[in-house]
């Protein structure tokens, strides 16, 4: 699958309180959550982006709380992919579980700039920055995570196994 | 093969003789839980994944602690969802208002999470129970919903890092100061994806409340788990609480660590994490004339009876500064009851602090002490991200109960010795 979109750039340690502030966690309504995505970093973010756009950030993206509302808000806001130098572990798990593609790219913080037009092959991790003409190779998605993505997230993956799974 | 405590617990729960960092294992879970924010989503996942009954009602808890007693109508709707699910599933460990405490204070106190367990909770501070010698970590609602169906989940075995503390603790220096110091040294992603093992003579001499505080904030360094080998102090904490058998694990002497830090803390003074990062840590004496509008004492980090005793020692016979509000939140009904019995609540009220029923409340900017633009709080909680306790232009300084109480009296960030 290839994705092409405009880059929205963030720094290091983007935490889940910035992605979706706790004051909106009194609801699980995904549209409502999406409308407040990244609000404390950029109040206009949810309105400015176009469907399919891409977030690029530095290290430790998604640190902080376990709220799955964070990747959900990003996905529902229309962001198709997050590229970061590294991800916080709960965010990483949650993103795959709900079907938000994410890629680790060591140069994500430095080389790719705000507004760049970028094309990404999710399977191979190959990234082309059409604005600068430069090419990058993201870390490959680990096989088990790819299995989850192929199954359509953790829910269908578990549902398919639930029939035969009982505890040892 | 020599293993760390984290590796041994994972191996024992995945039917293997040994595990190595980087391997994926499917582990049986001893306990799973969610709160009023993560629970509703987890229940939806449970239903979508074809769940009929939870894998074992004795091993599932739902705790409405974040926005409950209901702070507004949407919160009331969310709390109702988990209440109804608990009734329908006949879950014995649903905690209604009046019996409810902050999950990470409540569950160990109730003897529901135990040494040697593998635990997941839909809350990032699930790492707290590592203080009991458990492998315990936070997950999202989807992982939790799926685990309620199967009683299992997958883990990547984390690399372990070891933090050895030796020396003699100064008066007013606590577990909170040790963990703030640690995060200040290694950064908010210094232990990303790792198991942080805390050990050494200082840890061995520490009471459980300090150990919980330390493991609670492992996530603030990006860790998957914080863990402390169980010992006689652990045993005396769990033996009269445990609702089922438990098991002590410990690291082999020749276990492999990705990194080892060895710190003598004899000279350490109370630490404060300044806005807007738990790693922006300074000695309290370096912070001069930082006026505060609010002091918060409570949370899953520092809402235990030992924390309230320290606060009471400082607030006894004194008054909260006229320019400051002080809000005290006992972490659970047992903590509340004990504080009442010991006369601590009287001390707090006489000091003109506000005492709340147990709730997360202001810790995440929910209610019971939300900050306005330009306001500043000192807080015993664990996060000071932008907007964490209210307006994006408010500030949070993280500190121990001793420093928070002293600051409440002084009206500015203060060392306890300055007001005593
Ligand atoms: S007290 Fe704060 S950090 Fe702890 S569980 Fe509640 S909201 Fe989370």
Q: Does the beta-carbon distance from A68 to B386 stay under 8 Å?
A: no
User: Per residue in A108-147, pLDDT tens?
Assistant: 989 999 999 999 998 899 999 999 999 999 998 888 888 8
Helix axis angle, A154-162 relative to A89-98, nearest 10°? 70
Contact B300, B331 (CB under 8 A): yes
Beta strands in B117-200 (DSSP E): 118-121, 135-138, 152-156, 160-166, 195-199
**Which of the listed residues B216, B235, B262 is the one where a domain comes to its end?**
B262
Q: Does the beta-carbon distance from A155 to B145 stay under 8 Å?
A: yes
pLDDT at A152: 75
Question: Across chain B, what does the average pLDDT equal?
Answer: 97
C-alpha of residue B360 to centroid of ligand 1, in Å:
5
> Is residue B114 lining ligand 1, measured as CB closer than 6 Å?
no
Q: Is B185 left (phi over 0), alpha (psi -120 to 50) or beta?
A: alpha
Place of tokens 């460990």: B93
Q: Determine the atom of ligand 1 nearest the C-alpha atom of A22.
A: 7
Strands laid side by side in the B93-94 sheet: B93-94, B60-63, B31-35, B118-121, B135-138
C-alpha of residue B377 to centroid of ligand 1, in Å:
16
- Using CA positions, which residue lies closest to atom 2 of ligand 1? B363
Q: Which tokens hold the place of B373?
A: 């633009």
Residues of chain B with C-beta less than 8 angstroms from the C-beta of A162: 49-51, 149-150
Contact B316, B409 (CB under 8 A): no
Contact B376, B408 (CB under 8 A): no
Same domain, B121 and B250: yes
Q: Is B390 left (phi over 0), alpha (psi -120 to 50) or beta?
A: left
C-alpha of residue B220 to centroid of ligand 1, in Å:
12
**Which of the listed residues B226, B245, B262 is the one where a domain comes to its end?**
B262
Structural domain range at position B401: 271-419
Select from A90, A158, A165 the Cβ nearest to the Cβ of B139: A90
Same domain, B88 and B106: yes
User: Per residue in B283-295, pLDDT tens?
Assistant: 999 998 999 999 9
Q: Determine the atom of ligand 1 nearest the C-alpha atom of B124.
A: 8
Q: Is the pLDDT of residue A166 over 50?
A: no
Same domain, B167 and B111: yes
Give the Cα separation of B109 and B112 in Å (integer). Answer: 8
For residue A5, the 8-state DSSP code is E
Contact B54, B65 (CB under 8 A): no
Give the Cα separation of B297 and B149 in Å (integer). Answer: 37
The DSSP H or E segment spanning A151 is helix A143-151
pLDDT at A162: 57
Same domain, B75 and B187: yes
Q: Is A139 on the interface with B (CB under 8 A)?
A: no
Give the Cα separation of B325 and B151 in Å (integer). Answer: 44
The answer to whether the bond into A79 is cis (omega within 30° of 0) is no
Read off the CATH number of the domain in which B324 is found: 3.30.499.10
Return the closest-CA partner of residue A136 out of A163, A99, A101, A109: A109
User: Per residue in B162-216, pLDDT tens?
Assistant: 999 999 999 999 999 999 999 999 999 999 999 999 999 999 999 999 999 999 9
Place of tokens 């699930």: B126
With cut-offs at 50, 70 and 90, classify the pLDDT of residue A164.
very low
> Is residue B299 lining ligand 1, measured as CB closer than 6 Å?
yes
> pTM above the 0.90 mark?
yes
Q: Does the beta-carbon distance from B56 to A161 stay under 8 Å?
A: no
Same domain, B256 and B314: no
pLDDT at A147: 82
Q: Is the pLDDT of residue B48 over 70?
A: yes
Q: What is the ipTM of this complex?
A: 0.92
Residues 246-285 of B with CB under 8 A from A: 277
Same domain, B210 and B293: no
Q: How many domains does chain B have?
A: 2
Beta strands in chain A (DSSP E): 2-9, 54-57, 81-84, 102-104, 117-121, 126-129, 134-137
C-alpha of residue B126 to centroid of ligand 1, in Å:
10
Same domain, B275 and B410: yes
Instruction: Measure the CA dihedral A55/A57/A62/A68, to 10°.
Output: 10
Same domain, B275 and B221: no
Place of tokens 């049986």: B28
Give the Cα separation of B152 and B30 in Å (integer). Answer: 9
Select from A28, A90, A97 the Cβ nearest to the Cβ of B124: A90
Same domain, B254 and B284: no
Greater confidence (A140 vs B401) lies with: B401
Separation in Å, CA of A113 to nearest CA in chain B? 23
Same domain, B52 and B177: yes
Return the closest-CA partner of residue A77 out of A95, A52, A103, A42: A52
Percent of chain B predicted with pLDDT > 90 = 99
Per-residue pLDDT, averaged over A72-87, amounts to 96
């Amino acid at each position: 699958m290839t994705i092409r979109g405009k880059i929205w750039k963030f720094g290091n340690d983007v935490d889940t309180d910035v992605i979706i502030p706790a004051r909106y966690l009194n609801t699980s309504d995904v549209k409502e959550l999406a409308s407040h995505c990244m609000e404390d970093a950029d109040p206009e973010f949810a309105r400015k982006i176009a469907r399919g756009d891409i977030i690029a950030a530095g290290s430790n993206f998604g640190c902080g709380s376990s709220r799955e509302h964070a990747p959900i808000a990003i996905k529902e806001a229309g962001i198709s992919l997050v590229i970061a130098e590294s991800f916080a572990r709960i965010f990483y798990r949650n993103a795959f579980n709900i079907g938000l593609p994410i890629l680790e790219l060591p140069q994500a913080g430095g080389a790719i700039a705000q507004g760049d037009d970028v094309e990404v092959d999710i399977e191979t991790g190959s990234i082309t920055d059409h604005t600068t003409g430069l090419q990058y190779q993201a870390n490959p998605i680990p096989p088990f995570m790819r299995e989850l993505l192929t199954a359509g997230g953790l829910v269908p993956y578990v549902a398919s196994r639930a029939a035969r799974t009982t505890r040892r | 093969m020599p293993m760390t405590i984290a590796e041994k617990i994972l191996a024992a729960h995945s039917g293997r003789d040994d595990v190595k960092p980087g391997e994926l294992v499917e582990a049986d879970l001893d306990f799973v839980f969610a709160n009023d924010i993560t629970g509703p989503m987890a229940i939806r996942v449970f239903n979508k994944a074809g769940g009929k009954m939870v894998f074992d009602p004795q091993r599932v808890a739902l705790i409405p602690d974040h926005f409950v007693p209901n702070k507004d109508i949407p919160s009331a709707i969310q709390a109702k969802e988990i209440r109804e699910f608990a009734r329908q599933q006949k879950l014995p460990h649903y905690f209604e208002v009046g019996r409810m405490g902050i999950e990470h204070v409540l569950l160990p106190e109730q003897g529901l999470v135990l040494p040697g367990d593998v635990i997941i909770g839909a809350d990032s501070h699930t790492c707290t129970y590592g203080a009991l010698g458990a492998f315990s970590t936070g997950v999202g609602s989807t992982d939790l919903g799926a685990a309620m169906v199967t009683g299992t989940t997958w883990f990547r075995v984390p690399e372990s890092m070891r933090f050895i503390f030796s020396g003699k603790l100064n008066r007013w220096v606590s577990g909170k100061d040790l963990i703030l110091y640690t995060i200040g040294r290694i950064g908010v992603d210094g232990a990303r994806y790792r198991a942080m093992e805390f050990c050494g003579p200082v840890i061995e001499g520490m009471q459980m409340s300090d150990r919980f505080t330390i493991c609670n904030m492992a996530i603030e360094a990006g860790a998957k788990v914080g863990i402390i080998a169980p010992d006689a102090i652990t045993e005396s904490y769990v033996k009269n609480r445990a609702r089922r058998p438990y098991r002590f694990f410990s690291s082999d002497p020749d276990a492999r660590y990705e990194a080892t830090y060895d710190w003598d803390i004899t000279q350490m003074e109370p630490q404060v994490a300044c806005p807007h990062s738990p790693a922006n840590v300074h000695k309290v004496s370096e912070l001069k004339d930082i006026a505060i509008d609010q002091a918060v004492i409570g949370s899953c980090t520092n809402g235990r009876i030992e924390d309230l005793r320290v606060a009471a020692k400082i607030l006894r016979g004194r008054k909260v500064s006229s320019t400051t509000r002080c809000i005290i939140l006992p972490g659970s009904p047992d903590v509340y009851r004990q504080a009442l019995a010991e006369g601590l609540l009287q001390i707090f009220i006489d000091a003109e602090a506000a005492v709340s029923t147990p709730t997360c409340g202001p810790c995440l900017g929910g209610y019971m002490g939300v900050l306005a633009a330009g306001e500043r709080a000192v807080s015993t909680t664990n996060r000071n991200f932008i907007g964490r306790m209210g307006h994006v232009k408010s500030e949070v300084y993280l500190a121990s109960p001793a420093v928070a109480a002293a600051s409440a009296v002084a009206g500015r960030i203060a060392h306890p010795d300055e007001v005593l």
